[in-house]
Amino acid sequence: MYIVIIGRSCPDVSCEYVFSKEEWQTVVVVLHRKRPPKHPPTLNEMIRMVASLGGYLNRKSDPEPGVKKIWIGLRNLQEHLKAKEAFEAVYGKTCG
């Protein structure tokens, strides 16, 4: 609920106020299948990306993502982070 409230009141701040560098970079890689940018996305962009991991479709007519989609997205993000950690433990850190 905190992320929804802060995201709606301060959408243009860096997402690093709420998410770690590892978290936002993982979301970018999972969704866009490319290297993350050097600068973090805005909080609003990150919230929409996390919500899309939870099933949010992000169509023009859709309202802002709600607590449930963000919660599911955060849960899925944690699973991606666990998989990344396991991969790195077996194969070593392979990219930036």
Q: pLDDT tens-digit profile of 31-59?
A: 999 999 999 999 999 999 999 999 999 99
pLDDT value for 94: 64
Q: Check whether 95 has a pLDDT greater than 80.
A: no
Structure tokens at 65: 């993502």
Does the CA dihedral 71-5-9-16 come out positive or negative?
A: negative
Q: pLDDT band at residue 92, thresholds of 50, 70 and 90?
A: confident
Q: What are residue 42's DSSP bridge partners? A: 14
Average pLDDT, the chain: 94
